[in-house]
Structure 1
Amino acid sequence: MSAVALDAQPRAVTVVSWKTPVILAVVTVLFALLPILVPRPGDATFRFSSGRDAIQLPELVVPGTGTAWAAVVIGAIIAAVAFVLVSRRRTVPLWLTAVLVVAVIFGFLAWAAAGSTGTLPMVGLLGGALALATPLIFGALGGVIGERAGVVNIAIEAQLLAGAFTAAIAGSLSGSPWVGLIAAMAAGVLVALVLGVFAITYYVDQVIVGVVLNVLVIGLTTFLFRQVLAPNQATMNTVTPFPVLPLPLLSEIPILGPILFRQTIVVYLMYVVVFVVWFGMYRTRWGLRMRAVGEHPQAADTVGINVARTRYMNVLIAGAIAGMGGAFYTLVSVPRFNPEMTAGAGFIALAAVIFGKWDPIKATLAALLFGFATNLQGVLSVIGSPVPSQFMLMLPYVVTIFAVAGLVGKSRAPAADGQPYIKS
């Protein structure tokens, strides 16, 4: 009887997949083609300090091709370990994938900079990547909030562009970038409200609404730029940008200080927003209700949660956050508005949402990776690297394909994402 009782007990079943070790091996093999097909003689020099740093770190000189081969060896070992773990029905820990990514990136940088006349300024590279990733992070956070509430937000591009346009006008007329930032948030909320009305109230297909809003905002801002801003450039399209504010003591920390703490107030606000969204999503009643209506709206409705009101609230919050990302373009990056200046950043932010598996922290890390890839193309061209800029531009989308294919595990959207809720 005891044996029967033991057999009747539930057993934990570990689901493992061969996709992760296979993709790790494929990445390693593809990277190995670089030193095989295009060996780069010479050394690569990495610079970790700028001239104004209080603490100067020595430069690091490594052989370009040798470092690339070292990265290949590390990747091969990690891929082999992943195959062994899966064969023993154990999951591959995420840190192994992270080590492989870091090794491949460092090996690629050494290979690309080998024999070049310039040095790789790591502080400038990573600091610039953070700045470029800031609007992507705001957009990705807006996408995570909206989709966790069950509303697909294809209109991130429209919210970013509307925020940039409104920030330019409000900041120019008032002379204050803070007014421009608030106006950008209002513009993001307005676009989100239109999305909510059609998607939540009238049950229109959310993807179609998002695409239409993107086209509408692009056309509207381009028309208004030509008819209003261009003839009145001095008064309506000349913004006083946010200055760089180094934080005392923190900005003097070697490497991390100049990267993280010599930024503008918008970047510092981004740090706060990331934490608030993460904490609110997993530690508050607001986050619990948001996730409930995104996973099972009928069950949420049964326990007294107003599904439509909850979705509206979260879509509007997401629009305000995305609007802050749009303000970055005209209040930090370029002190004026230009047509289509977001250049598809909203779609990269949407890719970060998928790559980050609808989690605010992981989506932020994905946006940082995309910002790094974007900034890297400019740095490599400056130092005379032979890597085509088109390769770096397509890298974020290639990374997203690998992520969806299973490199970081299974990506599953919220169960009710994109599905209108009709109260029965």
Structure 2
Amino acid sequence: MQDIALIISTTLMYSTPLIFAALGGVFSENSGIVNIGIEGMMTIGAFAGAAAGYMLGNPWLAFIIGGLAGGLFALIHALATVTFNADHTISGVAINLLAPGVALFASKIMFDGATMTPTIPMEQKIPRPLNGLFPSGGILDTIFNAYATVFLVFILVAVAWYVLYKTKFGLRIRAVGEHPGAADTLGISVAKTRYAAVIISGILAGLGGASMSLAVV
């Protein structure tokens, strides 16, 4: 049972960044914009989160900065695909090539030529909120002694479902994705809605990247 608990714990830890990114993809795809640049947004989010975490010493602030970095690159993708009608796949591939290059270049500038950010001390990483709640070494302790981002991402799954299917904003996202012409005749700004959805996508992807550098690694 202890081995199974360890497998579950490891799965939760390593799947968390991917769930963040998947949620981002859900918002973008529902708005009608294909975002295959999520990997690049995760990369820049991981770098921004790690750099901010090392320099500021505040993991939550660094986590937010990582999300904002992903959102910034999503803005580039939205500008290309929504405003200039660029091919979604080409724009996404460009983001995937651009983001790692920017991260590497910024790392060399900020950390004296190093291609990686310095190691973040454990006390400056995302905390484990249930640490010490269960008997040490037990099955429950193995499963639930996880980083806070693991619990946060599952809360965000429920929030994303509610936003997309129970709110006016979510209805507009799905409307512009399924039938932009009809949405436009109802007075919904297709461009603004798609911009919002793609930026949300990038922020979530950036949070996924930041969760890797501030918790998983």
Q: Distance in 2 between matches of 1:214 and 1:179?
A: 25
CA displacement at 1:256 relative to structure 2? 6.3
Q: Percent identity?
A: 41
Instruction: Report the counterpart of residue 166 of structure 2 in structure 1.
Output: 283
CA displacement at 1:150 relative to structure 2? 0.5
Q: Would you say 1:184 and 2:78 are equivalent positions?
A: no
> What do residues 313-354 of structure 1 show as CA deviations (whole Å, max 9, x unaligned)?
1111111111110011210122xxxxxxxxxxxxxxxxxxxx
Structure showing greater relative contact order (alpha-carbon pairs closer than 8 Å, 6 or more residues apart): 2
CA displacement at 1:227 relative to structure 2? 4.3
Distance change >3 Å, CA 155–CA 232, structure 1 → 2: closer
CA contact (8 A) 2:130 2:145 kept: yes
> What do residues 181-219 of structure 1 show as CA deviations (whole Å, max 9, x unaligned)?
111011011011000000000000011000011011122
Structure with greater helix percent: 2
Instruction: Report the counterpart of residue 187 of structure 2 in structure 1.
Output: 304
SS state at 1:244 partner: coil
Instruction: Report the counterpart of residue 154 of structure 2 in structure 1.
Output: 271
Distance change >3 Å, CA 171–CA 247, structure 1 → 2: closer
Structure with greater strand percent: 1
Q: Which runs of 5+ in 2 are unaligned?
A: none
Q: Distance in 2 between matches of 1:272 and 1:248?
A: 22
Q: Distance in 2 between matches of 1:299 and 1:232?
A: 52
From 122, 125, 145, the equivalent of 2:7 is: 125
Q: Would you say 1:246 and 2:130 are equivalent positions?
A: yes
- 1:194-273 residue pairs with structure 2 within 5 A? 194-229=76-111, 231=113, 237-239=118-120, 240-246=124-130, 258-259=142-143, 261-273=144-156
Distance change >3 Å, CA 289–CA 248, structure 1 → 2: farther
Q: Distance in 1 between matches of 2:93 and 2:113?
A: 30
Instruction: Report the counterpart of residue 168 of structure 1 in structure 2.
Output: 50
Distance change >3 Å, CA 166–CA 301, structure 1 → 2: same
Q: Distance in 1 between matches of 2:112 and 2:25?
A: 32
Q: Distance in 1 between matches of 2:119 and 2:178?
A: 45
**What is the RMSD of the two structures over their aligned residues, measured on CA atoms?**
2.2
CA displacement at 1:281 relative to structure 2? 1.0
- 1:9-408 residue pairs with structure 2 within 5 A? 48-49=1-2, 121-229=3-111, 231=113, 237-239=118-120, 240-246=124-130, 258-259=142-143, 261-334=144-217
TM-score, scaled to structure 2: 0.90
CA contact (8 A) 2:107 2:114 kept: no
Distance change >3 Å, CA 284–CA 123, structure 1 → 2: same
CA contact (8 A) 2:31 2:173 kept: yes
Aligned residues: 212
SS state at 2:86 partner: coil
Distance change >3 Å, CA 123–CA 310, structure 1 → 2: same
Rg larger for:
1
TM-score, scaled to structure 1: 0.47
